[in-house]
Chain A
Amino acid sequence: MTLKGYPGLSQDDVRIAAKGRVTIATAPQARLNAQHERLTGAAAPGTATRTYRPHDHCQDGGAPLCRGTIFSCDVGGLGNGGYFRHTLAASATWESMMGASTSRSHIFRAYPTPGLTGSLAAVLVVRTYGDDIQIRITNLTTGTSSTHTTSAAGTPAWQGAISDIPFTAGQENLFDIEIKGDLGEQLDLLGLCVYEDTATHPSSNGTTTYSGL
């Protein structure tokens, strides 16, 4: 059966008193068969093979979808703070948590979903030794940084959030975690989750939701 395709379904073809051509019957059926395959990923009813690729909310069509977590790490209890620790070597200067003793190019990498826009978000748990310390996430691929959040000093563990991490969709992005405070102050990163949420969904060209159509 070859009755699959995307012919236009124009109101002009079904005007009152207009002559009916066979396409007024074949066109909607072709569209329904093609849409069945694009929607479900299965061959249209009665056909042996699938002609159209299913939508995947990415490169094969459909609205781009956020995927949730794109990077996370956690070192567990406070006793493991030394696994993800940085002691500031200067005051009032942004320093990478990688420190200077490694040739590591970045702390983590992530692949934001193609088609998304806006900013990534993060939630993090830290422990600060000393005064308040500012924390931000820098995207080394774009060369831009998030705004910073400031961890409260003197608390056993502190939870914060960042909502404006820059990214480029559809490719690997390299990230650094930077902190700023006073010389000698120390910060342990205990947990971090970087995620795509619905705020990264691009605006649709459509203006009406299905329930209002």
Chain B
Amino acid sequence: MATTAKANKLALVSPRDAITEAWAQQSAQNANGQYEATWDAAAPGASAQTFAGHDHTPQGGGGPIHRGCLWSACTVSSDLIDLSFTSANQAIELVKSGEAIDTMQIHPSPGLRADALLTGWICYYARNSDRFVLQMADSPTIYDVELPVSDGEKYNWLRFEIPVAYSGRWKARNLFIVCGSYDSSNAPVISLQALQIDELPNVIDRRGTGFVETPAAAGQTIIRSFGTLDDALYAADEWLDSYTLRELYGSINGLCEGIEDARAPKASSQVCRGHDHDAGNYGGRAIARGGCYTASLQGATYLYRIAYNGTSYSGYRAWDLDDGADRRSAASIGMALFWVGPGLASSGNPPTTAPYLTARLYVEWDAGAEIPTLNFRALNIGLSQYSAVTSVAATSSHSAWISVDKIPCDDDAINEIQFEVEMTGTTTVQNIDLIAFAVYEVPGVGARTNTSLPVLATGGVS
């Protein structure tokens, strides 16, 4: 007795072909494979799971899904950044002048087409030039978006689009503003109060045809069931009987509803609930849902500072040390607060396997002649658990994005993250600044489970 899950080639059966046990057995094996890929659970009657659940990545199977907000920053009473131009047709990056910081760090969904367009929104006030252009800096082809000059109105919103291909994975996304005419007595200025980049449904590939639901057929009995499709039912020379076919039909109908969350063809109503990638609810493998939290003032100032100033500290310090007794960490309030997708409950301190979160932090310091080594980590306040440690070893100055990985997460509460710093090698280093950060559920990495199992999309063909 064995219940096998496979992805067999199901060849055409023609009239007058002999019906052998193979076609039925292979169909049952495919149904078992689809059961496992849909629900991320062993097929009924199987002793172990053969295929990993799909997770909507090219690696894990399933089409790409849009993941919503990738980056956002917003103020209302002071500008995120003011850019003042000093010559005609000058290009200035959308960050504080002189900073090496990139505008943002984003992580588009895996599997998107290169020409898929991300959607951006910018809130700005542009004046004293005949034109302003939002420009992509790292594209092979210059990608321009005209920013209408503010006409008596302060702070207009403008929607724009960015090709996914130019964004990359964890790649800096540089946006520049280019001015037009210049008058030294009334220099061009653009002020920015909000910037957001979203992955919306338009990024999804629309090749092929969709499932067109067939009309319900009166008088039909459409059974939905997940009985055991055991190989023994299809052993050589066994009679193909009504029971065996009924079990197969029921399983396929149930799977159809589980995948589509719609009634099976010809059925008058839906019986099985669609999978929702929540093992604790309606089944399916946990999937990463993208951006959790972003924080940035576009380099206009730091978010958090540890000012060592010759003071000797040992051990890790919360990054808001410079805020004194009023700091968030003193009240156990996180520097990032968000909800993670169902199933993203980590284990371990720090977690060693998925699920976990990943953060990108823009960090700056200048220690002059000293060469400290700095260690960075994240604390999940609610769990009292830490991430893995990222070290930047023995360098006098630093101005770049770093990754802090394997951040613990809880899918049953608001996650509050506190970033912390430890310094070794010297105790007199000057300010250590956190300029910007993003916390992500990284698709295809942070939420992966069953990584030792093949996926149905590529495995089991015979």
Question: For residue B75, which residues in chain A have a CB less than 8 angstroms away from its CB?
Answer: 73, 75, 83-84
Which residues from chain B contact A114 at a C-beta distance below 8 Å? 201
Q: How far is the CA of A145 from the CA of B68 in the complex (A)?
A: 22
Q: How many A-B contacts if CB must be within 8 Å?
A: 439
Most chain A Cβ neighbours within 10 Å, of B54, B61, B201, B434 = B201
B448 at the interface (CB under 8 A from A): no
Whether the Cβ atoms of B246 and A11 lie closer than 8 Å is: yes
Expressed in whole angstroms, the Cα–Cα distance for A187 and B77 within the complex equals 11
A150 within 8 A of B: no
Q: Are B65 and A65 in contact (CB under 8 A)?
A: yes
Taken together as a complex, chains A and B put the C-alpha atoms of A85 and B79 apart, in Å, by 12
Would you give the shortest CB distance from A60 to chain B, in whole angstroms? 6
A191 to chain B minimum Cβ distance, whole angstroms, is: 6
Using Cβ atoms and an 8 Å threshold, which residues of chain B touch A9?
A: 222, 249, 252-253, 264-266
List chain B residues, Cβ under 8 A from A6.
211-214, 256, 265
Per the bound structure, the CA–CA distance linking A7 and B39 in Å amounts to 23
Pair A68/B290 contact, Cβ less than 8 Å: yes
Of the candidates B11, B13, B193, B290, the one having the most CB atoms from chain A within 10 angstroms of its own CB is B13
Against B, the Cβ 8 Å flags (1 = close, 0 = not) of A25-45 are 110110111111111111011
A80–B301 CB distance below 8 A: yes
CA distance A11 to B225 in the complex (A): 12
B295 in contact (CB, < 8 A)? yes
Is B372 at the interface (CB under 8 A from chain A)? no
Q: Give A60-83 as 1s and 0s: 1 = Cβ < 8 Å from B's Cβ atoms.
A: 111101111111111111111011
Measured between beta carbons, the chain B residues less than 8 angstroms from A25 are 13, 19, 23-24
With beta carbons under 8 angstroms apart, the residue of B11, B295, B338 that contacts A73 is B295
Contact indicator A109/B276 (Cβ below 8 Å): no
Whether the pair A3, B11 counts as a contact (CB closer than 8 A) is: yes
Selected contact of A74 from candidates B225, B265, B336, B461, CB within 8 Å: B336
Are B77 and A45 in touch, CB under 8 angstroms? no
Q: How far is the CA of A35 from the CA of B76 in the complex (A)?
A: 49
B273 touches A208 (CB 8 A): yes
A-B complex: 8 closest residue pairs judged by Cβ atoms: A76-B303, A54-B63, A46-B9, A8-B266, A74-B295, A67-B68, A156-B326, A63-B274
Q: Are B290 and A83 in contact (CB under 8 A)?
A: no
User: Are B339's CB and A103's CB within 8 A?
Assistant: no
Q: Which parts of B1-43 form the interface with A (CB within 8 Å)?
A: 7-15, 17, 19, 23-24, 27, 30-31, 34-35, 37-39, 41
Does B366 touch A at the CB level, under 8 Å? no
- Among B91-99, B137-145, B202-210, the stretch that binds chain A is B202-210
Contact of A11 among B217, B223, B272, B328 (CB under 8 A): B223
Please, how many angstroms separate the alpha-carbon atoms of A60 and B63 in the complex? 10
Tell me how far the C-beta of B366 lies from the nearest C-beta in chain A, rounded to whole angstroms: 19
The residues of B that contact A207 with a CB separation of less than 8 Å are 270-271, 273
Residues on the B chain within 8 Å of A149, using CB: none
Q: Which of B219, B257, B263, B327 contacts A78 (CB 8 A)?
A: B327
CB pair B339–A121 under 8 Å, yes or no, is yes
| Contacts A11-B223, A33-B10, A52-B209 given; does A209 touch B273 at CB 8 Å | yes
14 A-B contacts, Cβ less than 8 Å apart?
A40-B455, A53-B205, A61-B262, A62-B260, A65-B287, A67-B290, A68-B339, A69-B69, A76-B320, A108-B196, A156-B328, A157-B326, A206-B261, A208-B224
A residues within 8 Å of B by Cβ?
A: 1-3, 6-18, 20, 22, 24-26, 28-29, 31-42, 44-46, 50-63, 65-80, 82-86, 97-99, 101-111, 113-114, 121, 123-125, 155-159, 161, 170, 189-191, 193, 195-198, 201, 204-211, 213
* B68 and A63 form a contact (CB under 8 A): no
Instruction: Find the A residue at minimum CB distance from B78.
Output: A83
B121 located at the interface, meaning its Cβ lies under 8 Å from any Cβ of chain A in the complex: yes
Q: Are B323 and A79 in contact (CB-based, < 8 A)? A: yes
- Once bound together, how far apart are the Cα atoms of A113 and B219, in whole Å? 37
Q: Which residues of A contact B402 (CB under 8 A)?
A: none
Q: Is the CB–CB distance between B210 and A61 below 8 Å?
A: yes
From A43, which residue of chain B is reached at the shortest CB distance?
B457
Cβ B68 vs Cβ A53 within 8 A: no
- What are the residues of chain A within 8 A of B182 when measuring CB–CB? none
In the complex, the answer to whether B414 meets A53 with C-beta atoms within 8 Å is no
Shortest B335–chain A CB gap in Å is 7
Q: Is the CB of B34 within 8 A of A39?
A: yes
Further pairs besides A53-B63, A61-B261: 5, Cβ < 8 Å: A2-B12, A28-B248, A73-B194, A78-B328, A210-B273
